[in-house]
Chain A
Amino acid sequence: MSPRKSADRAGDMMQGTLDMLVLQTLVLGPAHGYAIAEIIQRRSDAVLQVEQGSLYPALHRLEDKGLIASFWGTSENNRKARFYKLTAAGKRRLHEESSRWQQLVAAIGRVMDPAPRLRSGQADD
């Protein structure tokens, strides 16, 4: 429906990764947009900088898919803020995504491994 569909597909991987990171952040409990960005930045030792320009569309997309839900609450320093929390569907999705991610990392790791070993009984998909 959207004319930007093809562009979306090109960015799928990055978008998908950001979605996964957001979901992972919310495992610890509800958080507002600023906190989500901060947590990702801190836990990645400032390697991953989440731009607001992609964070809020991502949050909107996730909420639209029913993976997260939002509510207005009060922040630790007493400001009104919109908090997000994982839904049951979000938890399921996070579980799938993280196991896919582990597989992907392992697969890339094996390819990049300078001394490949033959493994048995563990087929890649």
Chain B
Amino acid sequence: MGIRRFFKRTGWDRERSREIDAHIALMADDLRARGIPHDEAERRARARFGNPIAIREEIYQMNSIPLIETLVRDGRYALRLLRRSPGFAVTAILTLAIAIGANAAVFSLVDGVLLRPLPYPNPDQLAHAERVTMSSRGVFQSPGIDGAMWEAIRQHVTSADTAVYSDWRAGVNLAIGGTAMNVDHQRVSAGFFRVIGVSPVRGREFTEEEDRAGGPAAVILSHGLWQRAFGGNPSVLNSTVLVRGEPHTIVGIMPASFRGNFSMADLWTPVRASRRGQGGGTNFLALLRVKGSAEAVEAELNQAYHSLGFKPREGEHVWYHLAPVKQMVTAGSRDPLLTMWAAVGLVLLIASVNLAGLLLSRARTRTREIATRMALGSGRRAVIRQLLVESITLALAGGVLGVLVGQLMLNGMQALAGNQYSLWQDVTLDLRAVAATAAITMLAAVIFGTIPALQASRLDVQSGLREGESRGASARLRLASFCSSAPVC
């Protein structure tokens, strides 16, 4: 009830005013009926009623919530002041917005790419098998394996859950009924989704039989494609679509939550890696979920490699090791991101110091105003609250604008580097980052808004009034003069 009354209080007051007029008119009517002349009746009725403003004020107060009332008033005053000094307001708000926006955008990227790059269960266990070749020409690492190596891995590696997939993603023609579309296609082995740790939300993943040359043709859809092409109709499971003109049965649909580096395709088919024929070639990646120790898995990998009987060339050493997926995925963007993060951290620091300088130097010019207010009976707390509300108004405006700036910056960075670092595409502006940065700058604004408030409210009014006219630098404001003369400000 209270809150609703609060917002309706002005309308209520109008009602009361009409009601009081009616009361006086009725009273005057009564007096006239008793034979009192027209105007005299009116006058007496008013006199007897008393002060209508006082009654209205009392009722208005009953509807009011004093704290909100004063804060709203302070906020309005702050806005008016900011409008009166647009240069200061624009500088302060832009400083805040850029600092908050840049930090939020870069932190969103750091968080999305470096801190949470793989949205799969226990991503630390995931690794690729990588071949290292060392010779006089240097050390070469290659994650690509061929069908023969895959068969060897399946035979020898028992300390890890293994799968293989084609690194090669391509557009492929998908025909459903009469319509055709071009979709991103990737080939994965049976067990691939099990190794990643994300199962199809409907249906199942590929069986060993489907993953064998000449096995039944099967296809798994991404959630996005399922929505786009079939409107999310669950009955498409086990129906047939044409992939590259050949009929395939839809055996599974991945969940919408399947995101990240291994979910860039719209459509998966079995990879059918083998020694011979179509399944041959070298552009496969072996994905392993390490269950025991990494050393044991690496030993088994090398066993598998030696079982193939390849002889390395003269002066060349070849072995296999595990390359954690996390490292591989983030390798490219780690350094630029961290550099950028440090840079925007500095921007934030500089912005805070600048803001502090702005607020302090502004407080100096306002000594006279504050002294006037106190001379007119404004309390110390009221002055401090007023200055705080001003700082917070600034910080809020900067924060709101900062979200916009952050979104723009993030879009810009994705446009610039999104092709290079595929993970960046998935990142959205992290509102927690916005909130955290906004909190830091708000804290700076509040602290540096309060110092002058405390100083000012200790003012003795007389000297304060005089100080506004003369330039007498007061010892009390030493901090202000220090900061506004420091080069960084």
Contacts and interface: CB of A to CB of B under 8 A. Distances in A.
A53 interface: yes
A32 B62 contact: no
Interface residues of B, number: 26
Interface string B8-48: 00000001101110110111011000000000000000000
A57 B59 contact: yes
Contacts of A33: 19, 22-23
A52 interface: yes
Contacts of B61: 2, 4
B22 to A, nearest CB: 4
Interface stretch (A75-83, A103-111, A115-123): A75-83
Ranked nearest first, the 6 interchain pairs of A and B with the lowest CB-CB distance are A34-B26, A82-B19, A81-B22, A34-B23, A60-B59, A56-B55
A61 interface: yes
Contacts of B2: 1
A124 interface: no
Contacts of B5: 64
Contacts of A77: 26, 29
Given A33-B19, A56-B58, A82-B19, 5 more contacts: A34-B27, A57-B55, A57-B59, A57-B62, A79-B29
A60 B30 CA distance: 25
Contact of A79 (B20, B25, B50, B58): B25
Nearest to B29: A77
Nearest to B16: A56
Interface of A: 1-4, 32-35, 38, 51-53, 56-57, 60-61, 64, 75, 77, 79-82
A79 B54 contact: no
B65 interface: yes
A57 B58 contact: yes
A82 B22 contact: yes
B245 to A, nearest CB: 74
Contacts of A34: 22-23, 26-27
Interface of B: 1-2, 5, 15-16, 18-20, 22-23, 25-27, 29-30, 49-51, 54-55, 58-59, 61-62, 65-66
B50 A56 contact: no
Contacts of A3: 66
A32 B54 contact: no
A56 B26 contact: no
B423 to A, nearest CB: 51
| B interface majority secondary structure | helix
Nearest to B45: A34
Contacts of B20: 52, 56
Contacts of A79: 22, 25-26, 29
B23 A60 contact: no
Contacts, number: 66
A52 B55 contact: yes
B318 to A, nearest CB: 79
A53 B54 contact: yes
A80 B59 contact: no
Contacts of B27: 34
B85 to A, nearest CB: 34
Q: Which of B16, B26, B61 has the most chain A CB atoms inside 10 A of its CB? A: B26
Contact of B26 (A4, A51, A60, A75): A75
Given A32-B22, A77-B26, A82-B18, A52 B50 contact: yes
29 contacts: A1-B66, A2-B61, A2-B66, A3-B66, A32-B23, A33-B19, A33-B22, A33-B23, A34-B22, A34-B23, A34-B26, A34-B27, A35-B26, A52-B20, A53-B51, A53-B54, A53-B55, A56-B55, A56-B58, A57-B55, A57-B59, A64-B62, A79-B29, A80-B18, A80-B22, A81-B19, A81-B22, A81-B23, A82-B19
A1 B6 CA distance: 13
B26 A81 contact: yes
B29 A82 contact: no
A51 to B, nearest CB: 7
Contacts of B51: 53
Contacts of A57: 55, 58-59, 62
A82 B59 contact: no
Contacts of B25: 79
Contacts of A60: 16, 59, 62
B1 A64 contact: yes
B15 A82 contact: yes
Contacts of A32: 22-23, 26
Nearest to B49: A52
Contacts of B1: 64
A34 B26 CA distance: 7
B478 to A, nearest CB: 38
Contacts of A1: 2, 65-66
Q: Which of B5, B55, B66 has the most chain A CB atoms inside 10 A of its CB? A: B55
Given A2-B66, A51-B50, A77-B29, A56 B22 contact: no
